[in-house]
Structure 1
């Protein structure tokens, strides 16, 4: 349980329900907005009518302060729940969204949404009890990210459900419905599909980039998932994007926000800007479509952006004075915002809202962890398995676990992640799954040359204990080292995420200190560069401090005010010389003092690749098999990041091949002649032709969440039969792709790609074999507007129980803009050996339709083909059947 400490007494909170007693019901108080028997719109109108213009303006930004005279509590609209409730203490951490998509399991993704919203409500209820109304504790969840992952270079593609509009739509709808709940009177939480629209990099240009998709691409690729989550799932909010579309910033785009969203799709919720997106209207280095801040604020309101993540809308008072916007126009947006708060039950008596009864104890419960494990297992995609390399044999005596992702916390987390309570790293998961084998570990390589990675446990030892890996950690309650430690243990490495969380029992999350002591030994003599990364430092003020001592002498530290480098990066670097390669005493002291947020620290280094590679080869030579954990890191791919090294820039990638340092490591390991299994951990596609040609097996594990290590180990051992499928295309090289800044879908994704990929969308192997039969249609001749039903059987003809993902593809009559074929149905089924499963798909007119060059969607006449199998028609032993459609039916936008 999160432990909060406050000076003085904890105020009684009236937030969610205002704690109205029966004696003060609205009929007596005269405040209609407090009467739950009244229609919501009347209550909203009454509340807004009581506000001054100045009060109204304060409610138009994401951090909305309280209005005490009206009993309106503070509320922050910004909360994150992409794959777990993020940045607010411990919570269940599911695989990153791209891994969730790899499950191809629509009901499972809905169950994840339900679990995230349950934990969000529990955290909100607990926060309210402590009078906390802060960012990351609200009930408006800025997820899911349903942008189309059109190019593997995009660093935020990991947050999406992949490259296909149909798959993204179905998973997005399920997730949104899971988040928002089934109560007809109140939202459980409000989901916020993002980023509307046509948003997928480059990150470095997102504040000024003008995407100009064709009408066909807009309606065929970029908008379907948004339409589905708004029209079908009834999402209560939506986030507009940074980029412009056809010359107008997305958050000031009348066509997007007025015509498409509110007119065509009848959206009744509220629109939030991405953070700082309204600033981009007037910033000289951004879109600069508005003259100044007040004009930008007016432009946002008049375009339909209801709340501003940022401060620009605080200039609305000036905008009203200058006649740029009216108070009545502001009221339109303000009422949408308060309608949402009423629909969440925040102005009703507690007993009326069943979600108020969700206890904090559900957060991170065993049942939720089990769901995270199930998801991680289902997300595993087997890309290669030659000669029965997998499952691993139980007779193995020595296993070499090598690679930068074998012992990296961030490789479990991805980005926009929850904080896992007891994360198990992959190397430890392997050791737990194979207790009869000796597990040897080496970091092997940095992610890329010149990139910092966590200092590996092999360098660290408690004082006078050279056979034990790690440092002695002493944990102190309070932000200093004055008292005795309340907890002590050996930490295998300093690599921790404690964002708003207590690091150990008995220590308050808002004030604690940790001291690590022991020795550090390099892989070879020399001078090494280190850094202490404060995980959530900026802006940290004086809440985060650390000091590093070597042989008793201070060599690095951080405290406010920091030096310029520290303020910019949060990773002050220092060097240590090891003239003879012998151990040196090290002490790291870290203190955290903040009511909320901020805690987390990693000790990193920037090693030269050769000593790590030599160390890896040495342990590989002693092993029966090599497990190489390679790939990427959310420290390299992500949102607008200040990084530029070979292969990476600004959060995006400039190449899609495995970084050179890791590739060289793989080749050196292969030279030992020992069998190699490659485990990829990443959020985007990698071009791994060399591994495909030279290693026995390749497993794609993504950023797999809190239970990822167990899921990987069980997949390697055979306890888990991998059934995941790729939600993106793995290309052979950049040569197969158009320019990153080109938003045309020509030669992109499996639907329009003309080449041969390394691994196709929908691809994935199993430890068993499935066979399809009995494909039949409800009708082979349709009239436009008819619904089509498809039935078939799938049988497990192998020796192992497993999951099969049946994929149905539609090949339409070809036009100059048609996809070659498109996913039109999918289902994941578990089948025991020898058993047969009957499956059925229903294709509605929208699924049977096409978008023409003008952006018009219609069911059109002609000959069609359906293909069913365990992958794309070109990759599966598929069944196929032809049918025809007569007539034309145009469909709503």
Structure 2
């Protein structure tokens, strides 16, 4: 018996060691792997994949096409999980990371909509880098089943009621494009400028550009995302919906793309070969794998268009899907082959793409601890650097919407008693947003205010029974407000009001929140501060117009450091500099059908259009709006172009003088490169407080035309000391920045006068376009 204990102990330790190993193939310590040519790392990946695929049976191939890929023990191939989430930090919402091992928390950055408000691509890149490091660290410990992430979400936040708009970088395609590129490069291990991975190969993690395409509806007026047919014009597709996805693939070099649940112009996106294969692979140079959104192939099977489940499977596979998130491929792919709806060659294509990705991640190169990224360990998870970055992002994203009388920042000397009222005042988990993970730190706003305010006394009252505020305790909240020197109301939304599966019904604050805010403001001794925690915009016109509500802050879903960022902003330790990445519309927009996908307005029907580019109705706050505790002044100090003369690429393509517009393709790539010019803008901090400030450059149309009325063409974030000036160079490419899509989706430039605008219209710089 005495020998059994050491043996059992040894077996246990071996078992534990194996459990803590990340899934990889081609283990040098396994004699079987030495004879497999696909383990020869000196061979090109394509050659290794062909060798490995040739050794697989049909059943084994099919196992590799599901999101939970089973092991193939005879070839020493472990199981692999394709579905992991990392929208704003590593999350257990997928199947790849459960965070129940030795690492149970990860850095939770602000939800993307607030991060976008920084207009700072370098910050976006650093957040993605940190997320990739934490993911690799957990994977290297053997506590994760995969390194392929379903992020970033770069669909446009077209309708403010969309529950998942919080996951996006907002409504502008340029912002969404730059965000997608920065995120993909950061998490995959590329340089900020791109190009590193083309030489060095192994990915730190795999990023997925989603969702292809025109997806921005969950459930509205009995229409669900599974049955919604988005009617999108060629013009809107080329100008608005597709550019972020194109940039994510072409510039970011994303290794994965995902189809969406909806149809587009009658075609299910997961069965659209043009969308998933022809465009990305043939025109954008995509090299990676295509994954379906989870259970989207299953949702295609309706017994009508796809009479049998094998029909849906065949349509998806032939369209270009390589990995089915779900079990529909696993259940019906073999029978689809037997019924001759697809061939084994179609499966081979998918297998080639999925194995190539696993090899690019280094999972067929032997012990991953000996490879690049193998030295990233658990010390990177929740590291001080990452937590400081989460705070920096929250501080930089918070938007000051109103600050009459200079109420903010609050004076510690004048604040002996601070009343903090509202359903979002004392619940840090509400600050994370959807697809969240367990954060590294949990402190409440009350604790943060106590820290930042020094010796102040706090009185807190929830004000409502919950964020939906179906019951409001107005009399109790008013009594506390009457006693306080200052009052901060913390209101807004939560994931019950907006999220996946949940679109909003209307745009105001829910329940009795507005009544509570107004009553407290009327009763307070001094004007009050309103803090809004929410992803989507809300109509707070009542507060904007009420002089008793002197200051309004939008904090988005600010992540694990959001409480501290808000407190620091209220007491002046942080100068807010964020700008709105989405238009804040009035409640009346709720009357417009959410299913109307048109961007341009239709005066004949009263349709107002969507996004700041085309919307013609009133706004609560405009896209790009944001105040500061200091004042910034802009001036154009030099623009190296006044008149743009359009010239044809060759005599055969001579431009017609009678034509009002010309095709960009008619001008030629060489000409388009040659006519780039620079606009130099001087930015001066005229206040007495340092601040981080995004500078946004727009082009505005000079008159009626098909141009967007206003269009963002460049942005840069800079930090200025009090009194400091700095010059920014914006490089303008007229073929890109002065063109728009015609009704056929072709880029054209129109004759006339455009204006470069930074700040307000008073400093607009005219550019005349002639041929």
Normalising TM by the smaller chain, what interval?
0.7 to 0.9
CA distance in 1 between counterparts of 2:369 and 2:616 reads 59
In the other structure, the counterpart of 2:121 is: 106
In the other structure, the counterpart of 1:819 is: 708
CA distance in 2 between counterparts of 1:7 and 1:407 reads 44
Preserved CA contact (<8 Å) 1:401 1:626: yes
Preserved CA contact (<8 Å) 2:64 2:70: yes
Preserved CA contact (<8 Å) 1:147 1:195: yes
CA distance in 2 between counterparts of 1:775 and 1:175 reads 33
- Per-residue deviation, 1:20: 2.7
In the other structure, the counterpart of 1:676 is: 528
- The 1:31/1:224 distance shift into structure 2, 3 A limit, reads same
In the other structure, the counterpart of 1:308 is: 324
In the other structure, the counterpart of 1:261 is: 280
Match of 2:481 among 612, 617, 620: 620
In the other structure, the counterpart of 1:831 is: 720
Match of 2:405 among 387, 400, 403: 387
Equivalent runs, 1:452-601 vs 2, <5 Å: none
CA distance in 2 between counterparts of 1:17 and 1:73 reads 7
Equivalent runs, 1:169-184 vs 2, <5 Å: 169-182=177-190, 183=197, 184=200
In the other structure, the counterpart of 1:503 is: none
Give the structure-1-normalised TM-score.
0.76
Preserved CA contact (<8 Å) 1:105 1:827: yes
In the other structure, the counterpart of 2:161 is: 153
In the other structure, the counterpart of 1:231 is: 250
In the other structure, the counterpart of 1:96 is: 111
CA offsets 1:408-449 (integer angstroms, 9 cap, x no match): 233211001121132112122112211311000010014455
In the other structure, the counterpart of 1:777 is: 639
CA offsets 1:331-368 (integer angstroms, 9 cap, x no match): 10111011010001011133662111100111001110
CA distance in 2 between counterparts of 1:8 and 1:292 reads 47
Aligned partner of residue 655 in structure 1, secondary structure = coil
Match of 1:332 among 349, 356, 379: 349
In the other structure, the counterpart of 2:595 is: 741
Aligned partner of residue 684 in structure 1, secondary structure = coil
Aligned partner of residue 681 in structure 2, secondary structure = strand
In the other structure, the counterpart of 1:56 is: 61
CA distance in 1 between counterparts of 2:74 and 2:410 reads 67
Match of 1:371 among 374, 389, 392: 389
Preserved CA contact (<8 Å) 2:261 2:270: yes
CA distance in 2 between counterparts of 1:219 and 1:813 reads 23
CA distance in 2 between counterparts of 1:446 and 1:312 reads 43
Aligned partner of residue 194 in structure 1, secondary structure = strand
Q: Which has the higher helix share?
A: 2
Match of 2:217 among 197, 201, 204: 201
Equivalent runs, 1:425-440 vs 2, <5 Å: 425-440=444-459
In the other structure, the counterpart of 2:555 is: 701
Aligned partner of residue 51 in structure 2, secondary structure = helix
- Per-residue deviation, 1:737: 6.3
Preserved CA contact (<8 Å) 1:145 1:193: yes
- Per-residue deviation, 1:864: 2.2
- The 1:152/1:446 distance shift into structure 2, 3 A limit, reads farther
- The 1:15/1:382 distance shift into structure 2, 3 A limit, reads closer
- Per-residue deviation, 1:815: 6.7
- Per-residue deviation, 1:813: 6.6
In the other structure, the counterpart of 1:664 is: 515
CA distance in 1 between counterparts of 2:278 and 2:704 reads 28
- Per-residue deviation, 1:206: 0.2
- The 1:813/1:160 distance shift into structure 2, 3 A limit, reads same
CA distance in 1 between counterparts of 2:565 and 2:594 reads 34
| Structure 2 gap segments, 5+ residues each | 1-11, 93-98, 191-196, 601-608, 647-666
- The 1:313/1:17 distance shift into structure 2, 3 A limit, reads closer
Equivalent runs, 1:203-218 vs 2, <5 Å: 203=219, 205-218=224-237
In the other structure, the counterpart of 2:544 is: 692
In the other structure, the counterpart of 2:686 is: 797
In the other structure, the counterpart of 2:9 is: none
Give the structure-2-normalised TM-score.
0.87
Aligned partner of residue 56 in structure 1, secondary structure = helix
- Per-residue deviation, 1:790: 1.0
Preserved CA contact (<8 Å) 1:147 1:199: yes
Preserved CA contact (<8 Å) 2:478 2:524: no
CA distance in 1 between counterparts of 2:403 and 2:717 reads 21
Q: Which has the higher strand share?
A: 1
Aligned partner of residue 141 in structure 2, secondary structure = helix
CA distance in 1 between counterparts of 2:533 and 2:255 reads 34
Preserved CA contact (<8 Å) 2:45 2:356: yes
In the other structure, the counterpart of 2:336 is: 319
Q: Check if 1:12 corresponds to 2:27.
A: no
- Per-residue deviation, 1:17: 4.1
Match of 2:741 among 846, 851, 868: 851
Match of 1:120 among 128, 132, 135: 135
Match of 1:362 among 380, 393, 406: 380
CA distance in 2 between counterparts of 1:881 and 1:815 reads 18
- Per-residue deviation, 1:701: 0.5
- Per-residue deviation, 1:703: 0.6
CA offsets 1:1-51 (integer angstroms, 9 cap, x no match): xxxxx999325266544363289596xx43111000000001111111111
CA distance in 1 between counterparts of 2:255 and 2:513 reads 44
- The 1:269/1:812 distance shift into structure 2, 3 A limit, reads farther
CA offsets 1:475-530 (integer angstroms, 9 cap, x no match): xxxxxxxxxxxxxxxxxxxxxxxxxxxxxxxxxxxxxxxxxxxxxxxxxxxxxxxx
In the other structure, the counterpart of 1:493 is: none
Preserved CA contact (<8 Å) 1:846 1:859: no
In the other structure, the counterpart of 2:490 is: 629
Over the residues paired in the alignment, what is the CA RMSD in angstroms? 2.0
Preserved CA contact (<8 Å) 1:62 1:309: yes
Preserved CA contact (<8 Å) 1:25 1:35: no
CA distance in 2 between counterparts of 1:7 and 1:289 reads 55
Of 166-175 and 708-717, the range deviating more from structure 2: 166-175
- How many aligned positions are there? 697
In the other structure, the counterpart of 2:193 is: none
CA distance in 2 between counterparts of 1:270 and 1:817 reads 37
Preserved CA contact (<8 Å) 1:868 1:878: no
CA distance in 2 between counterparts of 1:403 and 1:170 reads 36
- The 1:328/1:283 distance shift into structure 2, 3 A limit, reads same
CA distance in 1 between counterparts of 2:205 and 2:136 reads 7
In the other structure, the counterpart of 1:515 is: none
Aligned partner of residue 346 in structure 2, secondary structure = helix
Preserved CA contact (<8 Å) 2:124 2:183: yes
Preserved CA contact (<8 Å) 2:467 2:491: no
